[in-house]
Amino acid sequence: MSAHLAEKIRSHGVETYPHECCGALLGRDSESESHDAVREVLALLPLVNRRDDSPRNRFSVTAEDVLEADRAAQQQGLEIIGWYHSHPDHPARPSQYDRDHAWPWYSYIIVSVQNGAPQDMTSWHLNDDRREFLQEGIEIRQRAAV
């Protein structure tokens, strides 16, 4: 993803601090020159965290969010490839809640926000038996490839 989008995820986390932010990752799957699977984030759709009960450590994506994200993706010729959220004052590692509520296939980006300042950003996906999150690398491009 571009440095610009990475920055947008971080600033969304700062904006909603001490609550969690969340949003959709829009983009596409492709292949690198060495034929490795590459997932490109090309746009974001910030969402409202609807967890009124516990917005500091929970986020939830509703069916309406998925529809809205899907519409936004289609308009741009992209698809939903994952979701991002922040961890206020917690490390950028998935919680038990995150694992229990994750869907297969999607990438989950987590940004840690400590005392209102963005820290690590990590990305995860469920392994094949859906019991464990595996970390995946994030490559930040300084300039958009044309």
| Residue ranges that bind Zn ion, judged by CB under 5 A | 95, 98
Identify which of residues 95 and 119 has a Cβ nearer to Zn ion in the complex: 95
To Zn ion, the closest distance from the beta carbon of 110 in angstroms equals 6
The CA distances from residue 98 to 5, 127, 131, in Å, are 22, 14, 11
Write the DSSP symbol of residue 76: T
Could you give the CA distance from residue 114 to residue 13 in angstroms, rounded to a whole number?
10
Identify which of residues 28 and 50 has a Cβ nearer to Zn ion in the complex: 50
To Zn ion, the closest distance from the beta carbon of 72 in angstroms equals 22
The CA-to-CA distance between both ends of the chain, in Å, stands at: 13
Identify which of residues 27 and 88 has a Cβ nearer to Zn ion in the complex: 88
| Cis peptide preceding 18, ω within 30 of 0 | yes
Could you give the CA distance from residue 53 to residue 59 in angstroms, rounded to a whole number?
10
Q: Which residue is nearest to Zn ion (CB)?
A: 98
To Zn ion, the closest distance from the beta carbon of 20 in angstroms equals 7
Identify which of residues 56 and 144 has a Cβ nearer to Zn ion in the complex: 56
To Zn ion, the closest distance from the beta carbon of 128 in angstroms equals 21
Identify which of residues 18 and 144 has a Cβ nearer to Zn ion in the complex: 18
Could you give the CA distance from residue 43 to residue 134 in angstroms, rounded to a whole number?
23
Q: How many CB atoms lie within 10 A of CB 60?
A: 17
To Zn ion, the closest distance from the beta carbon of 19 in angstroms equals 12
